[in-house]
Amino acid sequence: AATALSAVALSAAHAEDLTIGFSQIGSESGWRAAETKVSKIEADKRGIDLKIADAQQKQENQIKAIRSFIAQGVDAIFLAPVVATGWDAVLAEAKEAEIPVVLLDRTIDTPDESLYLTAVTSDTVYEGKVAGEWLAEKTAGKCAIVELQGTVGSSPAINRKKGFDEAIAVHAEMKIIRTQSGDFTRAKGKEVMESFLKAENGGKNICAVYAHNDDMMIGAIQAIKEAGLKPGSDILTISIDAVPDIFKAMADGEANATVELTPNMAGPALDAIIAYKKDGTVPPKWIQTESRLYLPDTAAAEYDARKDLY
């Protein structure tokens, strides 16, 4: 990584002189769209020129965008990595060009942590654990669960599964009876849930659905209703993100719980880069954002508080 001294030597005197390239995954979910929107707002607040490249869910597009940012000589690169592996070569090019990289909302698998300056993410294993523990308490440790996983190979899909599996492992009568990826989208969440319902006696064998994000759960709720069952009571729901539509479903009695993921990853990332460029302050390797469980009692108020941001 660029040393603190070379960071100072490369530094822009004011935040408003900084140009940052952000390789964003795409717009697979309501949460993702909000993250993009909040990133622009946070950059504007600080007078930073944030160039956002939409990769349409493809790693190859993210790699191209990073190479283009390097060629443009940006001051820093933000990367929301669609999958965890396959970044070493392109991040080594950024390192060679002395451009600091900040990971946003997802992590990467690499033997060389010097390839990025810091990662601004939640504890995604913990999110899965909170979800599993809530469900264990709600069902007194007895539940046949279907799981909608996020994008295959992405850090939140891997970790949210791990945390949930660990939480339910101590309950002999809690089992995941079906699990499949819904790619973090509403459409695929609905499609996969339809196949789970068909395979499980029209849904009568299913006690709960765990979705790695709210968008897949919104799709699953639709599928459950179309199958003639009541989401939120016939089949319990627990998901992650805390987007307005899940609060609406919770207020309507069609969803039971969500774990919040803040869409403001850019704010702490921008502050870290400004400090690094100003005087070489090296941020902690992990800037952790908060994860919090929300239940129906506050759903109407939370919906009102968030609806304009998304």
Q: Which of 31, 116, 164, 196 binds ligand AHR (CB under 6 A)?
A: 31
CB closer to ligand AHR, 7 vs 148: 148
Q: How far is CA 251 from CA 200, 299, 301, in A?
A: 27, 5, 9
Q: How far is CA 116 from CA 77, 173, 269, in A?
A: 9, 42, 12
Q: Is there binding between residue 213 and ligand AHR (CB under 6 A)?
A: yes
> What is the number of helices (H) and of strands (E) in the chain?
11, 12
Q: Which of 42, 75, 241, 302 binds ligand AHR (CB under 6 A)?
A: 241
Q: Is there binding between residue 164 and ligand AHR (CB under 6 A)?
A: no
CB closer to ligand AHR, 193 vs 240: 240
Q: Is there binding between residue 266 and ligand AHR (CB under 6 A)?
A: no
- Lateral strand order in the sheet of 286-289: 49-54, 19-24, 76-79, 101-104, 118-122, 286-289
CB closer to ligand AHR, 150 vs 203: 150
The burial of 246, by beta-carbon neighbours within 10 Å (0-12 exposed, 13-18 middle, 19 or more buried), is given as: buried
Q: Is there binding between residue 245 and ligand AHR (CB under 6 A)?
A: no
3-state class percentages of the chain: helix first, strand second, coil last, to nearest 5: 45, 20, 35
Specify the length of the chain in residues.
310
Q: Which of 32, 95, 186, 188 binds ligand AHR (CB under 6 A)?
A: 32
Terminal Cα-to-Cα distance of the chain (whole angstroms): 36
Q: Is there binding between residue 183 and ligand AHR (CB under 6 A)?
A: no
CB closer to ligand AHR, 28 vs 42: 28
Q: Please state the closest distance from residue 114 (CB atom) to ligand AHR, in A.
A: 23
Q: Which of 261, 266, 269, 299 binds ligand AHR (CB under 6 A)?
A: 261
Q: Is there binding between residue 28 and ligand AHR (CB under 6 A)?
A: yes
- Written as six digits, the tokens of 26 are 């795409």
- Judged by the rule CB under 6 A, the positions of this chain that interact with ligand AHR are 28-29, 31-32, 105-106, 156, 184, 213, 215, 240-241, 261
